[in-house]
Amino acid sequence: MDNLSRAQTLIEALPYIRKFAQKTIVIKYGGHAMAEKSLKDQFVLDIILMKCVGINTVIVHGGGPQINQIMERMGIKPSFIEGQRITDDETMSVVEMVLVGTVNKEIVGLINSYQGRAVGLSGRDGDLIQADPMKIYKYTGDERPPEIIDIGRVGKVSSINTGILKTLEGSGFIPVIAPVGVGPGGQAYNINADLVAGALAGELKAEKLILLTDVPGVMNPKDELIPSITADEARKALKDGTATGGMIPKLKSCLKALGSGVAKAHIIDGRKEHAILLELFTDTGIGTEIIQ
């Protein structure tokens, strides 16, 4: 890139920097972007740059592959239904150990090593994320009640203590949140990171929700990227089975955020270099945006 191209890139970014300054953007961090060294470094630099230009970022991270790896070493076979991990007591212990004790601290340490200011939290810290048990309902016919599938200590967000996050943001810190919630009696619950990010974005009245994933975005039946869809189209994809597996909680997360006043939600490919900056600060962006 020559000097003129560099200058043009900065000029293209300027209106977006102005637009998002002092706004909050919630980012779900997961997939290959968490696994590959070069992508991890680029993600952290993107986050620090956003903070330097006045954008408040809140990070919610996943850790599914890391959890699977430890479970397999322990001889426990991971099981999923509709993108949700079936979580018995033993699995919950592994989930909390990996997400809170390992993954969260690695992300915080990396941000701080690049002169950022990050603080790691789980949903149990200060009762940040209150959770209720989640149930999966399976259709069994028009004239029969749905089958209720017990998936163990899997939670759904019931409320969020945003005061903790606003205090951290006001002091210049970047909150990094592990998606473990606290249920009745102080019991830990495993909550899908996409769903936590959507709920947080809504409660914080964020400008944007960005979900990093390992696919280009929402794909059509011809396996082509859909650059933009409406909330109604996302609901239709969930209802007719077009959305499957891990895309189900992602679309639900986006719909939750949009329904709570978030302006736009984005599902983008975290395998691309500087994916967040490309989405935020360029005219074309990448991935799929979901709008009302």
Give me 180's structure tokens. 């473990």
Is 132 among the domain residues? no
- CA-wise closest residue to 183 among 163, 155, 160, 210: 155
Amino acid identity, position 229: I
Is 154 among the domain residues? no
Is 110 among the domain residues? yes
Find the angle CA(152)-CA(158)-CA(159) to the nearest 5 degrees.
Answer: 140
User: Given this model, what pLDDT does residue 3 score?
Assistant: 72
- CA-wise closest residue to 20 among 254, 270, 280: 280
Is 57 among the domain residues? yes
Task: Give the pLDDT confidence of 235-291 residue by residue, as tens digits.
Answer: 988 888 778 878 888 899 899 999 999 989 999 998 888 999 988 988 777 888 999
Q: Which residues of the chain have pLDDT under 70?
A: 1-2, 139-141
Strands 208-213, 264-269: pairing kind: parallel
Is 1 among the domain residues? no
Is 95 among the domain residues? yes
User: Given this model, what pLDDT does residue 141 score?
Assistant: 66
- Tell me the three-class secondary structure of the chain, residue by residue: CCHHHHHHHHHHHHHHHHHHCCCEEEEEECHHHHCCHHHHHHHHHHHHHHHHCCCEEEEEECCHHHHHHHHHHCCCCCCEECCEECECHHHHHHHHHHHHHHHHHHHHHHHHHCCCCEEEEECCHHHCEEEEEEEEEECCCCCCCCEEEEEEEEEEEEEECHHHHHHHHHCCCEEEEECEEECHHHCEEECCHHHHHHHHHHHCCCCEEEEEECCCCCECCCCCECCEEEHHHHHHHHHCCCCCCCHHHHHHHHHHHHHCCCCEEEEEECCCCCHHHHHHHCCCCCCEEEEC
User: Given this model, what pLDDT does residue 84 score?
Assistant: 82
Find the angle CA(265)-CA(230)-CA(201) to the nearest 5 degrees.
Answer: 25
Domains in the chain, number: 1
Is 61 among the domain residues? yes
Number of residues that make up the chain: 292
Q: Check if the beta carbon of residue 13 is closer than 8 Å to that of residue 194.
A: no
Q: What is the pTM of this model?
A: 0.90
Is 30 among the domain residues? yes
What domain range includes position 256?
Answer: 23-122+167-180+189-217+239-280
Tell the residue number behind the tokens 């936590």, with chain if given: 196
User: Given this model, what pLDDT does residue 140 score?
Assistant: 64
For the chain, first and last CA: distance in Å?
Answer: 37
User: Given this model, what pLDDT does residue 283 score?
Assistant: 79
Residue 200 is part of a domain; what is its CATH number? 3.40.1160.10
Sheet holding 56-61, edge to edge: 118-122, 174-178, 56-61, 24-29, 208-213, 264-269, 288-291, 228-230
Give whole-number Cα distances, 282 to 14, 19, 218, 265, 289, in Å.
10, 13, 20, 16, 14
Find the angle CA(201)-CA(204)-CA(210) to the nearest 5 degrees.
Answer: 25
User: Given this model, what pLDDT does residue 184 score?
Assistant: 84
User: Given this model, what pLDDT does residue 50 score?
Assistant: 94
